Copies of this chain bind each other. A is one copy, B any other.
Amino acid sequence: MNKVAATGKAWQEEELTALAIQAFRGLGLPPQDAADVARILVVADLFGLSTHGLSRIESYGERLQLGGINACANVTVESPAPALRMVDGDNGVGPLVGMHALRAAMDAASQCGVGVALARGSNHFGPISPYSLIAAQHGYASIIGSNATTTIAPWGGSDARLGNSPLGFGVPNPGGKPFLLDMAMSVVARAKIRNAFKRGEPIPDGWATDAQGRPTKDPGVALDGFLLPIGGHKGYGLALLVDLFAGLLSNAAYLTRVKSWVDAPDEPQNLGHFFILIDTRRLGSVDWLTERMRDFAAILHDSPAADAQRPVIVPGEIELDKMARQRESGIVLEDTVVALLHEHAARAPK
């Protein structure tokens, strides 16, 4: 649990979205572009993914003000083949580029049954699960990935040469909750190592290495070293898969060619994303999919829990339950985030 000040009001989704749109308009985005960005970040907060939600107004805002991100990006889409869309983000805000790519992939998939959008010239695009949710709500199964600033060493290597690239998927479930998975390639997030360091506790084998790429259980040493990918060489390979499809094939930057938004906030990152969508309505009827998804989830839920307090769940349940609860009770944001939203919103054109 983060200990942060969140003393303010519980926001309703519509009200928070309106404020977020004004904040991004205050940072120079046209209304429709601000709405795209707000949509992804508000869903992230609804899912409980607060590190990837409106708190990003801080880094996105800094970079927009420094000119590191283009507030008036002219995102363009080319179609080199019927099912393929190449998206040039023109260094726009990541979720704006992501939404253009998602719409392009949905358009291609509606025509061809399958659609792939490859985006370049982008920036951090938020979490993946909001895109997977939108795709699922429109009937598309999705595999989505993005590359990222380098923080992981190649397997057996000793310096940061690949990103902790996120990979996600979604499958529509007309009769219930869609399946949504959104994962990075490291065993744990860096925050877990920081927490162990604060508590003075060792970390388990397999979480991280020292700065020379050697295994360590010392959280202090690990913080100067590298996160380890899941399954060792397997996670290394998966991270490369994501970068090859999101970065190399999209004509974006990849590996160490991706600029760090921390070290160079005023420069374009040229991040890349991929969106692979399949139109499930071409595969069978809604009843067919409803029954199969119900059966699939039931088989998993019916596995007796190893710990009776923790029943088996399917990917996405936690986030979708949280969304439902927060749509009832409202979303409470950190005070600093609300203050920043208001500060930028105050500059929005009337």
Q: Do A156 and B307 touch (CB < 8 A)?
A: yes
Q: Given the complex of chains A and B, what is the CA–CA distance between A180 and B156 in angstroms?
A: 18
Q: How many chain copies?
A: 2
- For A213, list chain B residues within 8 Å (CB): 305-306
8 Å CB contacts to B: which residues of A233-288?
233-238, 240-241, 244-245, 248-249, 251, 254-257, 276, 278-280, 282-284
Q: CB within 8 A of A244: which of B171, B235, B249, B312?
A: B171
Q: Do A312 and B157 touch (CB < 8 A)?
A: yes
Can you give 16 A-B contacts (C-beta < 8 A)?
A82-B83, A82-B113, A84-B112, A84-B113, A108-B114, A118-B283, A141-B245, A154-B303, A156-B310, A158-B304, A230-B230, A231-B231, A231-B235, A245-B278, A249-B280, A256-B299
CB distance from A57 to the nearest CB of B (A): 28
Question: For chain A, which range describes its interface: under 10, 10 to 19, 20 to 34, or 35 or more residues?
Answer: 35 or more
Q: Do B116 and A306 touch (CB < 8 A)?
A: no
Q: Do B231 and A183 touch (CB < 8 A)?
A: yes
A159-B303 contact given A80-B283, A141-B245, A283-B80, CB 8 Å threshold: yes
Q: Do A157 and B306 touch (CB < 8 A)?
A: yes
Q: Do B248 and A279 touch (CB < 8 A)?
A: no
Q: Do B82 and A303 touch (CB < 8 A)?
A: no
Q: Given the complex of chains A and B, what is the CA–CA distance between A303 and B256 in angstroms?
A: 11
A81-B114, A205-B205 known, 6 other contacts, Cβ within 8 Å = A80-B283, A82-B112, A84-B278, A156-B313, A231-B235, A233-B315
Q: CB within 8 A of A249: which of B83, B235, B278?
A: B278
B-binding residues in A (CB < 8 A): 80-84, 86, 108, 111-116, 118, 141, 143, 153-159, 161-162, 169, 171, 179, 181, 183, 187, 204-206, 209, 212-214, 230-231, 233-238, 240-241, 244-245, 248-249, 251, 254-257, 276, 278-280, 282-284, 292-293, 295-296, 299-300, 303-307, 310-315
